[in-house]
Amino acid sequence: MVAQEMSATAAAEAQRKAELEAAPATTSRFIQKKDHQITITRVAPPALKNATLPDSADKEQSSPLTRAEFEARMTDQPEQQSISVSVMVFGDEYSKILWRKPRSAEERSDAPGEFEIWTNAPLKYLTPISSFERDDVVYNYFGFCETISREGELRRSALAKERGFAYESRWQESPVDFAPGQLEYVVTQPANRPVPPELYKQMDALFAHYLENEATLKTAYQRQQALNKAREAYRKENPPQPKDTVINFHPLSERSSATR
């Protein structure tokens, strides 16, 4: 799969380079670098195409909506919300979530509020999620996820000590005692700081979607990890070679050409 992907990319690049080199040139300049050449070519502006006017039937179909029609159409659309989080997964034990409060129109100039959440669900397979729908709301998911293991941190600490460097382990103990045999999440915030109601709504939706689709998300995650490793191995076996660069440009108008 990776070999086919790289071959398709190389073919697309070669085709684009051939198109650039085939453009009629007025002047060309060559810059020779150590291991590749840059060609800067001035070409004639592309011919403008006359836009075809829509016929009367198209005009009728594209007539502006009335206010009532617009409001009715918007009413039929599901509500849209963005979930913005960063997640640190500690082994197979628990996860720490930093949830960012969505900003309203009145708060656009302010930084979004951040709230810390701990859960005994190891959310390793969040990254394949881009969006999902639940209870008539479409959630667009933006998140970063990193998995940290006890063993890995012990190896890092030992290696740093061996080489004479100080290393602070990234492992964190959960500040929450979770009920055994039951999945939970807890917002760990000062009592005097109110928790936005949308946090609970979004986390309930995200956890429900994750737990219902964990097997599918795991498969997608493992597939992506395998592809990443295969790409890395392919690049090591087939290191990229320096490529010549072709840059075409043209003036925006005859007037701009005369003033150059």
pLDDT digits (tens, 9 = 90+) for 39-64: 999 998 877 777 666 665 555 556 77
pLDDT at 5: 87
Number of domains in the chain: 1
Q: In Å, how far are 121, 124, 152, 188 from 170, measured between CA atoms?
A: 19, 17, 10, 19
Task: In whole angstroms, give the CA distance from residue 138 to residue 244.
Answer: 45
Which is more confident, 9 or 58? 9
Q: Is residue 133 part of a domain?
A: yes
Q: Is residue 249 part of a domain?
A: no
| Token duo for residue 33 | 């670098």
Q: Is residue 186 part of a domain?
A: yes
pLDDT at 24: 85
pLDDT range class, residue 1, cuts 50, 70, 90: confident
Q: Is residue 17 part of a domain?
A: no
Query: Which strands form 137-148's sheet, in the order they lie side by side?
Result: 131-134, 137-148, 79-90, 94-100, 114-119, 185-187
Q: Minimal CA–CA distance to 44: which of 260, 252, 247?
A: 252
Kindly report the average pLDDT of the chain as a whole number: 86
Q: Is residue 251 part of a domain?
A: no
Q: Is residue 20 part of a domain?
A: no
Where in the sequence is the domain holding 207, given as residue range(s)?
80-104+111-212
